[in-house]
Amino acid sequence: MSDSGATAALPDPAAVSLAIADLDRLISTLRDDGRVVIGPTTRDSVMTLDEIAGAGQLPRGWLDEQSPGKYRATPSETATAFAHGPPSMSWKRFLHEERTLVISTSRTNGAMVIDPAPAAPEKPLAFFGIQACDLAAIGVLDVALADDAAYRRRRDDLLVVAASCTDSVATCFCVSAGTGPRPGPLADIVLTELADGSLIADARTERGAAVLTRAGLDTAATEADCRSAAALVDAAAARQTRHLDTEAIARAAAAPDDVGWDAVAERCLTCGNCTMVCPTCFCTSISDQTRLDDGCAERWQIWASCFSLDFAYVHGGSVRTSPTSRYRQWYLHKLVTWHDQFDSSGCVGCGRCITWCPTGIDITEAITS
């Protein structure tokens, strides 16, 4: 087993071959282990993520087109289940939920009692078919949310079956971000799909190998199939046309006041879509809610966006009142100050913020024109 698939040209020599039907055995094995299996699926003609019970729920035969401000998924004749772009939502919501109860208060004999939120018993998760950019995003969240107990609990139990990308949509730029299209070292198993829907499975950890063994998947992959798989992933990388302009980012880091932020910000609706779909945006705020019927109250941690006025509210008002100041904050945090704070970029090149921005603002071009 290799530790890293990020640079390997071929799957590991010990890789095994899977027929399409074998995916059900793999998913069943994970479920028999008591795991909730999360994978890509289609809902209302959009690729999304949800719990899956079998391979029939994967988006086999679906392809998607993504471009600035545009998304379209359509059924096709393809035999593949993983040749799609990043699903509409990111995997972070299963590790870092939109709403988390922090504490609640109740009344006992007229006295207020503060109850810490009970740690709900949860089944361990398996991420099935996560792509390289989103896997890298988990590595980013691992640092940013290292002290978040709920995140750590789910993350520590997580088993990852990643999928190499054998196609790229127009908004992908994982190559330039250095995160894909081959899944990096956080995967337990890496699947690479061939054009006929059959797959190569490459165990990257002991527990990944144990899952394949328990599923009875031990047919050695042929060298020809491994070469075909590697060629498909290389072709997906070669199809990417977007890239991060590192020189423009360096100029913005050195002289942020010289950037023409107004030009991009005048198109920004400050809707926050980009932060909600981003696999690495992790900010939250606190909301207190009181029930009028029994006087009990709850304190919730909820996702927040740096594009909202409230996010930058300090005593006396918001410190970022203009869209320009909020766009600038988001961009510079993602691509510049994240390095100082967490020793990495905050962008993994998934392109979701480009696709789901209603005005098609493109992070790879925002400050280059």
# binding residues, ligand SF4 (CB under 6 A): 25
- Asked if 49 contacts 89 with a C-beta cutoff of 8 angstroms, the reply is yes
- Asked if 103 contacts 299 with a C-beta cutoff of 8 angstroms, the reply is yes
CB of 17 to ligand SF4, least distance (A): 33
223 CB-near residues (< 8 Å, 6+ apart): none
Q: Is 121 exposed, middle or buried (0-12, 13-18, 19+ CB in 10 A)?
A: exposed
- Asked if 131 contacts 183 with a C-beta cutoff of 8 angstroms, the reply is yes
CB of 353 to ligand SF4, least distance (A): 3
CB of 357 to ligand SF4, least distance (A): 3
The residue from 261, 351, 362, 367 that contacts ligand SF4 (CB under 6 A) is 351
352 binds ligand SF4 (CB under 6 A): yes
- Asked if 165 contacts 180 with a C-beta cutoff of 8 angstroms, the reply is yes
Question: Of 14 and 46, which CB lies nearer to ligand SF4 in the complex structure?
Answer: 46
Mark 296-335 with x for binding to ligand SF4 (rule: CB under 6 A) and - for no binding: -----------x--------------------------x-
Question: Of 46 and 101, which CB lies nearer to ligand SF4 in the complex structure?
Answer: 46
Least Cα distance to 158 among 207, 187, 124 occurs for: 124
Tally of CB atoms within 10 A around 166: 22
Question: Of 104 and 275, which CB lies nearer to ligand SF4 in the complex structure?
Answer: 275
Q: Is 211 exposed, middle or buried (0-12, 13-18, 19+ CB in 10 A)?
A: buried
Question: Of 151 and 307, which CB lies nearer to ligand SF4 in the complex structure?
Answer: 307
78 binds ligand SF4 (CB under 6 A): no
Question: Of 229 and 259, which CB lies nearer to ligand SF4 in the complex structure?
Answer: 259
Mark 256-295 with x for binding to ligand SF4 (rule: CB under 6 A) and - for no binding: ------------xxxxxxx--xxxx---------------
- Asked if 253 contacts 319 with a C-beta cutoff of 8 angstroms, the reply is no
Q: Cα(183)–Cα(298) distance, rounded to whole angstroms?
A: 40
**Selected range binding ligand SF4 among 3-11, 103-111, 248-256, 355-363, rule: CB under 6 A:** 355-363
Q: What is the 3-class SS of 87-151, one letter each residue?
A: CCCCCHHHHCCCEEEEEEEEEECCEEEEEECCCCCCCCEEEEEECHHHHHHHHHHHHHCCCCHHH
CB of 174 to ligand SF4, least distance (A): 9
Looking at this protein, which amino acid is placed at residue 258?
D
The residue from 259, 348, 362, 367 that contacts ligand SF4 (CB under 6 A) is 348
Cα–Cα distances in Å, from 260 out to 100, 146, 147, 326, 353? 38, 35, 37, 14, 20
350 binds ligand SF4 (CB under 6 A): yes
**Selected range binding ligand SF4 among 5-13, 197-205, 248-256, 347-355, rule: CB under 6 A:** 347-355
Question: Of 40 and 272, which CB lies nearer to ligand SF4 in the complex structure?
Answer: 272
Q: Is 360 exposed, middle or buried (0-12, 13-18, 19+ CB in 10 A)?
A: middle
The residue from 49, 212, 363, 367 that contacts ligand SF4 (CB under 6 A) is 363
Match 């896997």 to its residue by tokens.
135
Cα–Cα distances in Å, from 125 out to 87, 128, 136, 179? 18, 9, 17, 23
CB of 367 to ligand SF4, least distance (A): 13
**Selected range binding ligand SF4 among 104-112, 121-129, 187-195, 353-361, rule: CB under 6 A:** 353-361
User: Which residues ranging from 205 to 224 are in contact with ligand SF4 (CB under 6 A)?
Assistant: none
CB of 256 to ligand SF4, least distance (A): 17
Cα–Cα distances in Å, from 243 out to 138, 286, 306? 21, 36, 24
The residue from 23, 37, 357, 367 that contacts ligand SF4 (CB under 6 A) is 357
Question: Of 55 and 363, which CB lies nearer to ligand SF4 in the complex structure?
Answer: 363
CB of 131 to ligand SF4, least distance (A): 11
339, two tokens: 């390095």
List of residues contacting ligand SF4 (CB under 6 A): 268-274, 277-280, 307, 334, 347-353, 357-359, 361, 363
